[in-house]
Structure 1
Amino acid sequence: MTASHTNQLRHRAAALGVWLLGALAMWALDGRVDLANLSMLLVMSAALASLWLPVPASMLTSLLAVLAFNWFFVPPRGSFAIDLRQHALLLGSMVALSWVSSILLARLRWQAEAARRHAAQAEALRSLADRLRDTAQPAESAPALAQALQPLSSMPVQLLCLLDRLPARNDDGAALIHGQPDADGHDGLWACLRAGQAFGPGTGRYEELPAWYLPMRGRRTSFGAARIALPSAADTGQREQAQALCDLMGQALERRATERATQRAHDDAEGQATRNALLAAISHDYRTPLATILGAASALQEQGDRLTSAQRRRLLDTVMDETRALSRFTDNTLQLARLDAPGVQLKLDWESAEELVGAVLRRVRQRRAVEPEEGGPRLRARIEPELPLLRCDALLLTQLLENLVDNALKYAGTSGVEILVRREGVERPQGRPASSPPPDGVTETWGGPAFPCDKLVLAVRDRGPGVPPAWRQRIFEVFQRGQELDRQRPDGSAARGAGVGLAACRAIARAHGGEMRYRARSHGGSSFECWLPVEVQPGEGPMP
């Protein structure tokens, strides 16, 4: 037995109880009060019983009660004969009053029921609106919408919510489908979504369907659809309530789609601005060295016979230096563009940190006439022993270290530059702290056992003026240089470049699953650190 049937039986039992109490009261008062007062008991019983009975049943019950009153209480008793002058008006007034009270109370009952229904509908709308307001992914709130629609449906509600833009063809990957629609229901949901119109009984479209197909409408188009199997008795008010709930979801999906479109437009604008800035930087930073190369080559060509060997040597050195600068700038720019592209594939292999640092030292010393500083080398390296192999792209990591060394040499003056490779979170062997000076030589190592580690740190350190606090986060962004940094160069000259070197270093580090960091040294200077994850080599377990 359903809940509605149980309620009907309960209401009928209440009405029957009222009539029984009224009849007992009239029997008890018969002969003690006059006929008019007894009739008031009948009218009152009819009014109270109409609180639980529908209008037709209440009117029929009142008529039968008046007839019974005539039979049992109106003289001559036991007969339906009445005195037209004495009792006809009384009995007619009783019937009229009973019917009027039944109609009025039934109307009040209907209004109260409508008020309760409207309050429940408003609460359902408010609850769903609150849920959609607090979520960043409205499509994930489809179960909440289905729960709000379920009282209107005779079967589980089925929903289709777009995740982003409407695909050219029906593609379930572009939408979230709640429920398990059959083939007809699936096609109906997509058709309703694309048409942006309701289908089903009472909608004026496809009236023969056994369910409502309601679109989730935004301000301009639809962003989903709902399939609601019709209950046995569905009315226009129920469909309007269901449509209002669907429109709430549609508006939330439209807001999310607008946010995505805005973000895409913003990303496109940023990409276009980056491309424009890249072209402008390339044109500027290529023009100056090319003009220098052209001037030196022209001087050698036109005045070569009149130049001394030292002058020719200086011009050739200028050509070589500017050509190397162009090569580095081109490499950094190309790597930055390549590594920022989605789905980039690196040429990974197992490499040792010693070989990477050694290759950088050789290339830097070949390119620069690095003279040892008094009391020690100007460019040196310190590498912990027994470091694990890195799975990396050796060409990219040597480019990263080379960029960092070149930048450090520009600003360090005569203080020296150090390449440090260490393990993060590993205890140093006792006897000498990590900051103590190395023995005579270029490369320093520490003795002691090997320890397990998660990160390998490649750091390039100097004792130069350091980076101002305002620029410590911005220096890794593309095209960010800062005039304050140029003014801090030891020779006071302005460094050329578009500000892509450190940005390329960060892109290389992130492509390997690591990160670039800047750390100000306690006694002055800078430490640019590349933190890289350490992977376990195939066939080897974790280090004990």
Structure 2
Amino acid sequence: MSTPPNTPAAPRWHSARPWFTWLVGWALMLALAPRLDLANLAMVLMLTSAVASLWLPGGISAGASAVAVIAFNWAFVPPRFTLTVDLHQHALLLLAMLVVNWIISGLVIRQRQLADAARQVAEREMRLRTWGDTLRDAVDPAAHASALHAALADATQAPVAVAVLRGLGAQPEDDSTLHVGPVNDEQRAGLAVCIRDGRAMGSGTGRYNELPDWYLPLRGRGVTLGAALVCGMGTERNGLELRPHLQALCDQMGSALHRSLITAQELQAREQAQLQATRNALLAAISHDYRTPLATIMGAASALHDQADKLDAGQRRRLAGGIVEEAERLSRLTDNTLQLARLDAPAVQLRCDWESAEEIVGAVLRRARRRPEGARIKAWIEPAMPLLWCDALLVSQLLENLLDNALKYSPAESAVSLQVRRQSSEALLSVCDRGPGIAPAWHERVFEVFQRGDESLRDRNLDARGQGAGVGLAVCRAIARAHGGELRLRARAHGGSCFECALPLRELQDAPPEEGPP
């Protein structure tokens, strides 16, 4: 970046350009002296003085102009090679030359100062914008403490140190406080005081003006999350002008730190709320949906235990069958609830491998057709279907839930179709039925926990055997999203519903991502 405004640049009068300009001007005047009158030679002198003042400081430029006028009098004004002036008009000419040279030099120097100030403002604005862009894209702004250190050092060309707190409520003395740049014990104590007070310290700040260094807080919204130390700025001539710029850099860092910490707290709060919601869902499922199958099992088992001698073989088979059916229902409910709790946990990991769609569907069909209504299931798999990178147990559970839902809420004589086909870069697993369908307003709500669909539509299905717990579809969508896919509900043209699970297909030669244990 360019030279900071308070950094002493190389003196302008050390440059060869102004002295070369004077040399060329005098050579030109000496060469033209036989051909031009005194007034025209004076114009050449004033032009040379104006050009040289572009590089010379104000005092040196004024002195050079005065020396040039005296030399002009000695070299060109009659009587030549003396400092005597015989004619009043020549004295007036020399005086006018001196005054005009000074005015021109003053105007040029003033414009140069304004240009320097504009350049300094542009540099600071560019530094602030670049720094803001850096912090806006930062995931952890604390990691950019070294970048702040570099920005402050670039702006001041002075020793700099930065201290950043690692969290809201942290103290400067904590071991977790991040320090960038060397500091002694006194400076470390000054940084701690600056962080606690949230106000700048040092010369010109109104607090501890006797200090030679500046201590600038990293301020967020109502909180200070660090401080910066800029050494030796109390004695700098342009320090008072530069300090607001340095404070702006620090405040940008403080605001970014505050946003980052607030975002982390919000994420933690959401995770806690999600865990609490899952915990409440488990309790609700146990207290409400587990009671019915347990009561049925306990009633049938009690009847078999206490009245086995009074029951005939058919009654005992019906009671035993009820126990088996309700136990299977309870097992499915338990599996769904536990999977929902696991999949809702942050950073869930799956046991994925290359799996055959035919094997997954075959295993699901074998289990489903053990039930009397399982004969209604018609399956079709697209030939040459590529292997799926998935957790086979979870995908099997997804299909079993969808089939159980379709069999439960469709007429007893209607078929339920299970299809697996390729659609672009996805594998589409669909389960379709000819039931009463689901109202459009419920197409998303049915995937929420403990939502069982539109009561009015479900009551029309007189063959529906019992109501679900309202977690099966929620588990299905959670399984699909855990695989990077999506589960959608589509209404069929002639009645019924079709649940479509789109899972991304991977090329077999690609190295699959590492999956850890759940």
TM tier relative to shorter chain: 0.5 to 0.7
Secondary structure at 1:60 match in 2: helix
- Indicate the residue corresponding to 2:334 in structure 1: 330
- Indicate the residue corresponding to 2:119 in structure 1: 117
Q: Work out whether 1:9 is the aligned partner of 2:11.
A: no
Q: 2:477 aligns with which of 506, 516, 540?
A: 506
Report the CA distance shift for 1:464/1:537 in structure 2 as closer, same or farther (over 3 A).
farther
Aligned AA (1:241): H
8 Å contact kept, 1:351–1:390: yes
Report the CA distance shift for 1:8/1:295 in structure 2 as closer, same or farther (over 3 A).
same
Question: In structure 2, how many angstroms separate the alpha carbons of the residues matched to 1:238 and 1:74?
Answer: 50
Secondary structure at 1:475 match in 2: helix
Q: Which ranges in structure 1 are unaligned for 5 or more consecutive residues?
A: 176-180, 372-376, 426-452, 539-544
Question: In structure 2, how many angstroms separate the alpha carbons of the residues matched to 1:379 and 1:529?
Answer: 16
Report the CA distance shift for 1:315/1:201 in structure 2 as closer, same or farther (over 3 A).
same
- Indicate the residue corresponding to 1:409 in structure 2: 407
Question: In structure 2, how many angstroms separate the alpha carbons of the residues matched to 1:534 and 1:25?
Answer: 87
Deviation, structure 1 residue 407? 0.9
Question: In structure 1, how many angstroms separate the alpha carbons of the residues matched to 2:145 and 2:386?
Answer: 50
Report the CA distance shift for 1:98/1:57 in structure 2 as closer, same or farther (over 3 A).
farther
Q: Work out whether 1:497 is the aligned partner of 2:468.
A: yes
Q: 1:523 aligns with which of 480, 489, 494?
A: 494
Deviation, structure 1 residue 75? 8.0
Deviation, structure 1 residue 338? 1.9
CA offsets per residue over residues 328-364 of structure 1, 9 Å max, x none?
A: 2111101121233355555567766555445444544
Superposed, which structure 2 residues align to 1:244-263 within 5 Å? 244-263=248-267
Q: 2:110 aligns with which of 108, 111, 123?
A: 108
Bigger drift between 475-484 and 94-103 goes to 94-103
Question: In structure 2, how many angstroms separate the alpha carbons of the residues matched to 1:409 and 1:494?
Answer: 9
CA offsets per residue over residues 249-306 of structure 1, 9 Å max, x none?
A: 5434543443443344344334433433443343222244445555666677788888
8 Å contact kept, 2:422–2:428: yes
Report the CA distance shift for 1:20/1:418 in structure 2 as closer, same or farther (over 3 A).
same
Q: 2:397 aligns with which of 392, 396, 399?
A: 399
Q: Give the TM-score, by structure 2 length.
A: 0.65
Report the CA distance shift for 1:71/1:339 in structure 2 as closer, same or farther (over 3 A).
closer
- Indicate the residue corresponding to 1:467 in structure 2: 438
Q: Work out whether 1:487 is the aligned partner of 2:458.
A: yes
Secondary structure at 2:397 match in 1: helix
8 Å contact kept, 1:47–1:102: yes
Superposed, which structure 2 residues align to 1:256-335 within 5 Å? 256-293=260-297, 317-335=321-339
Question: In structure 2, how many angstroms separate the alpha carbons of the residues matched to 1:192 and 1:116?
Answer: 34
Q: Sequence identity, in percent?
A: 48
Aligned AA (2:416): E
Question: In structure 2, how many angstroms separate the alpha carbons of the residues matched to 1:75 and 1:40?
Answer: 17
Report the CA distance shift for 1:263/1:390 in structure 2 as closer, same or farther (over 3 A).
closer
Query: What is the total number of aligned residue pairs between the two structures?
Result: 483
Q: 2:224 aligns with which of 206, 217, 221?
A: 221
Q: 2:56 aligns with which of 41, 53, 56?
A: 53
Q: Which ranges in structure 2 are unaligned for 5 or more consecutive residues?
A: 1-8, 511-518
Question: In structure 2, how many angstroms separate the alpha carbons of the residues matched to 1:77 and 1:358?
Answer: 119
CA offsets per residue over residues 153-183 of structure 1, 9 Å max, x none?
A: 779x9999999999975699xx9xxxxx9x9
Aligned AA (1:378): R
Aligned AA (2:58): V
Report the CA distance shift for 1:318/1:199 in structure 2 as closer, same or farther (over 3 A).
same
8 Å contact kept, 1:364–1:402: yes
Q: Give the TM-score, by structure 1 length.
A: 0.63
Question: In structure 1, how many angstroms separate the alpha carbons of the residues matched to 2:48 and 2:506?
Answer: 89
CA offsets per residue over residues 7-52 of structure 1, 9 Å max, x none?
A: 943344445556777888998787x89xxx9999988986776555
8 Å contact kept, 1:192–1:198: no
Report the CA distance shift for 1:56/1:510 in structure 2 as closer, same or farther (over 3 A).
closer
Report the CA distance shift for 1:279/1:12 in structure 2 as closer, same or farther (over 3 A).
farther
